[in-house]
Structure 1
C-alpha cells in the first residue's frame, strides 16, 4: 500500500461530496476501478453518480442465487433506466454443490459458522474473482449503517484483495440518502418501502421495526456482529467451513 497516496486522498476528500470522491477515484485508477453493487439504496445512488460521470461505468453484481424477486427485477430496471451493462458474478457451482450435499440447503440457520460458510461461497469467493486485476473498488458503506461501520474512512486499504476501497457515502446520513434518491428519481428496491433497511439474500433478510439498527434485519436469528464477510473476512476454511476473521 502507498501510505502517502492514502493519506493524501484522505485529506483531500474528507469534506468532498460523493460525486467529487467518485470523480477523483476515476481519475486516479481509471479502468482499474470497479464498483460492487448490491442494488441497495446506497448502491443505487452510486450507480446514478457514476452514470453522470461516464457512459460506461464498471459495475458488477454478485448474484448469490437466493436474492429477492424484487432485487432481480431491479437489476433489469437499472440496466434499462441508465442504458448500461452490468457484470454478474455467480457462486462457484462445485463449491455450492459440495456444501449443499454435505450440509443441506438451509444449513445457514444452524449456526453462525454455517451461515458464514454459506456467505463465503455465495458472496466472498465471487467477490474475489470480480476484483481480480483491479486496483480499487467502490462500495456503498456508510458510518450510520451499524456500530461496526462508524469508523470507516472514505479511502481504505483492502488487505485481503490488496487494493484500495473507496467509500464515497461514508459521511452521508440516511435522511440525506433518501432525499437524494427522491430528488433524482433514482430507481430503488420496493422492499425498502416495506421496512427493509438492508437487503441481502431472501431467507436471510427481514424488515426492521422502528428503533432497530439498519443491520438488525440481516441474519436476525444471530446475536453479535452482522457481516457476511465481504468487508470483514478472509477467504479460507476447509470445504466451505467458516472463514477466518480478517480486516
Structure 2
C-alpha cells in the first residue's frame, strides 16, 4: 500500500494520539533544557519530519543534521530545500571522508554491499557511522526518529538510553508512536515530507539499498531487502545494548 493510499485511511485521530504527542513534546523540552547541546539526527523521512516540526515550531535549542552519504535519492536531497523554504532552517550536513570511500571501492567495489553483510556494513560504516561520530562530537545528547514498531531489531527500543559508543545520552521520543500517529501528525500540521513515501517507500535509506515495498510487507522490507531481517541495521543504532559489529575498511 502506498503512503498516499495509506493517508486516506488515517484522517481520524488515532486513539491515544494526544497523550503521545504531549509526552513527546515534554521529552523534547527536557532534552533542550537539560542536555544542551543536543541534536536530531534526521534521515529526512517521515518520523524525522515530525520531530523537525516539533523542534522548530517550539524554537527548541536542538540542532538538526543529516548524513549526506553520497548515495541518497534526489527526493531525499530535495527535502533540504523544502525544510529551508518551510521553516527558514538549514539542516547541517555531514559527509563521508573521500579517502575512506576510495578505500572501500578499491576493496569491495562501488556496489560491493550486495555481496555480503560484511561488505554492506563496511559501506554503512564509511558513509554513515564515521560521519555520525563527527556530528556528535561535543554533544550531550542525540535524538532519533526510531519507533518500536519499525522492525524486529527495535522492538525493545527505550525512549532514553545511554550511548556508550559515543559517550552521551540518546533519545527516541517517538518510540511508542505508530505509523498512523506519524501520518496523522504530518497531515494535521501540514508538514512537508519526502515524496518517496507516496511511491511505496515507508522506510528510506541510500538509493541502491532501498526499494518500494509490496502490499502487506513489513515497513522495513525495502531496506537491504537481500538480507535477513535480523541484520537490517546500519550500525548507527544500538541493538541489544551493543553496536552491530562492523569491519572497518583499510
| Class of the TM-score when normalised by the shorter of the 2 chains | 0.7 to 0.9
The one of 81, 85, 88 equivalent to 2:90 is 85
Closer, same or farther: CA 186–55 of 1 in aligned 2, 3 Å: same
* 1:239 to partner: Cα distance: 2.5
The one of 218, 231, 234 equivalent to 1:228 is 234
Distance in 2 of aligned mates of 1:144 and 1:170 = 8
Give the TM-score of the pair, scaled to structure 1. Answer: 0.87
Q: Does residue 46 in structure 1 map to residue 51 in structure 2?
A: yes
- Written as runs of structure 1 = structure 2, the 5 A alignment for 1:25-36 is 25-30=31-36, 32-36=37-41
Deviations 1:157-184 (A, max 9, x none): 1111011001111111111110000000
* 1:150 to partner: Cα distance: 1.5
* 1:143 to partner: Cα distance: 0.8
- Secondary structure of 2:165's counterpart equals coil
Distance in 1 of aligned mates of 2:42 and 2:48 = 5
User: What is the RMSD of the two structures over their aligned residues, measured on CA atoms?
Assistant: 1.9
**Contact kept? 1:57, 1:84, Cα under 8 Å:** no
- Secondary structure of 1:116's counterpart equals helix
The one of 17, 21, 26 equivalent to 1:20 is 26
Question: Structure 2 unaligned runs (5+)?
Answer: 1-18
**Contact kept? 1:195, 1:208, Cα under 8 Å:** yes
Q: Does residue 116 in structure 1 map to residue 116 in structure 2?
A: no
Match of 2:183 in 1: 178
The one of 133, 140, 147 equivalent to 2:145 is 140
- Secondary structure of 1:58's counterpart equals strand
Give the TM-score of the pair, scaled to structure 2. Answer: 0.86
Match of 2:247 in 1: 237
Distance in 1 of aligned mates of 2:134 and 2:224 = 25
Number of matched residues? 227
* 1:23 to partner: Cα distance: 0.8
Deviations 1:63-114 (A, max 9, x none): 0000000001111111221101211000011111111122211111111110
Match of 2:166 in 1: 161
Aligned structure 1 segments of 4 or more residues deviating by more than 3 angstroms: 13-16, 234-238
* 1:237 to partner: Cα distance: 3.4
- Secondary structure of 2:214's counterpart equals coil
